[in-house]
Amino acid sequence: MALERSEVEKIAHLARLGLNDDELPSTTTTLNNILGLIDQMQAVDTSGIEPLAHPLEATQRLRADSVTEQNQREAYQAIAPAVENGLYLVPKVIE
């Protein structure tokens, strides 16, 4: 099943990726080539096979509920594009 340009635009929106109009045709072609490769999977018989999520079948480890991290706000905000009064700045979201 080949993707249409409009579907590629929808995927880009879901991924919050701004694509230029001139990128769309080549992106559509390449994505369809990659999906063609991926679709080879459908020929494999996997009936009765359990999916493998972790190579060693490990489960999430739990730790004691104790404080392990110090406040690093200043260090982390020093590398942010825009901050003010300890807050990250973004364009206005509530009109």
Residues at the contact surface with another protein, assessed by CB under 8 A? 3, 8, 11-12, 14-20, 23, 27, 30-31, 33-42, 44, 46, 49-56, 58, 60-61, 63, 72, 75-76, 78-82, 88, 90-93
Beta carbon of residue 63, minimum distance to another protein (angstroms, whole number): 7
Nearer to another protein, 67 or 93 (CB): 93
Minimum distance, C-beta of residue 45 to another protein, in the bound complex (Å): 9
Q: Give the nearest distance from C-beta 86 to another protein in angstroms.
A: 13
Residues 6 or more apart from 83 whose CB is under 8 A from it? 77, 89
Distances from the Cα of 92 to the Cα of 14, 40, 65, 86, angstroms: 21, 46, 37, 17
- What number of CA atoms fall less than 13 Å from residue 33's CA on the CB side? 6
Angle at 60 between CA 48 and CA 68, to 5 degrees: 170
Q: Which is nearer to another protein, 53 or 67 (CB)?
A: 53
